[in-house]
């Protein structure tokens, strides 16, 4: 069984045992989070179909003139996009394109794939809409979109600079600032009407976020506007939704309510009350059970008004994803792409980069958030 099936079956067993009655289990599912996540998936699908991500990468290749320039632009390009759009979708689209560029330029793709995976994780920290765990935290805490971004954006930008420095030190081939002899001409498939519509709706959506309109309702309205079209069948957008993730979230909401009913979280209470204990706990749990379950497990222990703890939870659950290959979906996407192309990206090769990156960025996050 995959993670979604495990969460669903576990929920069914707990309901059958009477730990969480069916009505209570249904009420435990946070509708705001599910609607927000569903809506952002539809908007991401629209942007992907329109060809936006291809346009961005092609322009990165055209703008850069050297291996080092490609590393820098790829890092910031993917990181900035991940701040506004769900990072896993971006990793899915960018990974094969990055591999294609590296092969055309006769470059070792490993440092660039590592850069892409890490940047999508780090960049997604900047906003509530950047990744699923941030969406959860935004829903539970009530922190505004702008307030969250003000704290997290500096951490994300510094983190991307640090990852460039680490890759520069570990891979001599990316240090060259010598221009490429020939830049490959990459073709893009764009659907201009959909691209224009998607960009207008996305721009309006983020304006609504910044102005303080309700996040889930704004995203839901934006996704609905995307689906009203006579050019593309709506099932093409809906087919790109990660229904497994939505089922996983729903099951985890029920399991979290059950752990509360059984009073299983008491041993963690004192540890989470201490800031360093909180960020350490969520970092470890994120690599053991993944970041979304870790956030759902710990969120009942944090008071809604405790903004600092929510921000530490967001930083720990996101940045810890860079620690190991299994810490984030983006890492697994790059691993699979590298393997199919005949390049070896194993656990220890990733850990050599991920361990120092995670320790440095988590330390910066801890002291930065504690200062505010």
- Taken as a whole, the chain contains a residue count of 372
| pLDDT, tens only, 257-293 | 888 788 777 777 778 888 999 999 899 888 887 788 8
| pLDDT, tens only, 1-23 | 877 888 899 999 999 999 889 99
Give the integer Cα–Cα distance in Å for 9 and 64. 50
Between the CA atoms of 246, 97, 185 and 194, what dihedral angle is there, to the nearest 10 degrees?
A: 0
What is residue 317's predicted lDDT score, i.e. its pLDDT?
93
Give the integer Cα–Cα distance in Å for 38 and 139. 14
Phi first, then psi: give them for residue 277, nearest 5 degrees.
-70, -35
| pLDDT, tens only, 61-108 | 778 888 999 999 999 999 999 998 877 777 877 888 888 888 888 888
Higher per-residue confidence, 218 vs 236? 218
> Could you tell me what percent of the chain has a pLDDT over 90?
40
Give the contacts of 360 (CB within 8 A, at least 6 positions apart): 162
In the predicted structure, residue 163 carries a pLDDT above the cut 90 = yes
The per-residue pLDDT of the chain, averaged, comes to 87
Which residues in 12-168 belong to E strands, given as ranges?
none
The CA-based angle 322-199-245, given to 5 degrees, is: 40
Query: Token match 């922190």: residue?
Result: 143
CB 116 within 8 A of CB 91: yes
Give the integer Cα–Cα distance in Å for 76 and 37. 24
To the nearest 5 percent, what fractions of the chain are helix, strand and coil? 80, 0, 20
Please report which confidence band the pLDDT of residue 237 belongs to, taking 50, 70 and 90 as the band edges. confident
Give 351's DSSP letter: H
Taking each helix axis from N to C end, the angle separating 87-104 and 110-124, rounded to the nearest 10 degrees, works out to 160
CB 321 within 8 A of CB 91: no
Query: Token match 């939704």: residue?
Result: 241
Closest CA to 91 of 114, 66, 61, 73: 114
Closest CA to 296 of 125, 137, 79: 137
Residue 14 burial (CB < 10 Å; 0-12/13-18/19+)? buried
What is residue 185's predicted lDDT score, i.e. its pLDDT?
66
Q: Whole-model pTM?
A: 0.84
Distance of CA 47 to the CA centre of its chain: 16
What is residue 186's predicted lDDT score, i.e. its pLDDT?
66
What is residue 184's predicted lDDT score, i.e. its pLDDT?
65
Closest CA to 316 of 286, 272, 346, 296: 286
What is residue 1's predicted lDDT score, i.e. its pLDDT?
80
Element (H, E) at 60: helix 52-63
What is residue 180's predicted lDDT score, i.e. its pLDDT?
80
Query: Token match 């991401």: residue?
Result: 44
Both structure tokens of 124:
């997604």
| pLDDT, tens only, 317-351 | 999 989 988 777 788 778 777 787 788 788 888 89
């Amino acid at each position: 069984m995959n993670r979604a099936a495990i969460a669903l079956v576990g929920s069914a067993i707990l309901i059958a045992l009477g730990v969480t009655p069916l009505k209570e289990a249904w009420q435990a599912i946070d509708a705001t989070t599910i609607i927000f996540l569903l809506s952002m998936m539809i908007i991401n699908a629209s942007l992907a179909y329109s060809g936006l991500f291809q346009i961005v990468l092609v322009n990165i290749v055209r703008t850069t003139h050297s291996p080092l320039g490609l590393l820098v632009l790829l890092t910031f390009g993917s990181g900035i996009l991940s701040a506004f759009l769900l990072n896993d979708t971006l990793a899915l689209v960018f990974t094969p394109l990055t591999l294609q560029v590296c092969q055309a330029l006769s470059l070792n793709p490993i440092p660039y794939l590592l850069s892409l995976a890490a940047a999508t994780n780090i960049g997604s920290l900047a906003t509530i809409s950047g990744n699923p765990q941030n969406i959860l935290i935004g829903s539970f805490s009530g922190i505004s979109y702008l307030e969250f971004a003000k704290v997290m954006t500096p951490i994300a930008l510094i983190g991307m600079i640090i990852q460039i420095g680490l890759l520069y030190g570990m891979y001599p081939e990316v240090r060259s600032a010598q221009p490429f002899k020939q830049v490959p001409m990459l073709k893009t498939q764009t659907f201009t009407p959909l691209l224009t519509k998607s960009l207008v709706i996305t721009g309006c959506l983020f304006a609504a976020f910044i102005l303080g309109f309700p996040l889930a309702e704004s995203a839901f309205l934006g996704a609905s506007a995307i689906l009203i079209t006579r050019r593309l069948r709506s099932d093409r957008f809906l087919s790109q939704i990660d229904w497994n993730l939505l089922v996983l979230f729903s099951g985890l909401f029920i399991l979290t309510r059950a752990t509360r009913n059984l009073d299983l979280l008491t041993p963690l209470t004192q540890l989470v009350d201490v800031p360093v204990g909180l960020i350490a706990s969520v970092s470890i749990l994120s690599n053991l059970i993944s970041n979304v379950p870790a956030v759902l497990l710990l969120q009942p222990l944090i008071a809604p008004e405790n903004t600092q703890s929510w921000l530490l939870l967001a930083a720990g659950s996101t940045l810890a994803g860079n620690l190991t290959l299994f810490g984030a979906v983006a890492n697994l996407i790059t691993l699979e792409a590298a393997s199919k192309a005949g390049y070896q990206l194993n656990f220890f090769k990733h850990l050599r980069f991920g361990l120092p990156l995670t320790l440095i960025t988590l330390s910066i996050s801890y002291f930065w958030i504690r200062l505010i």
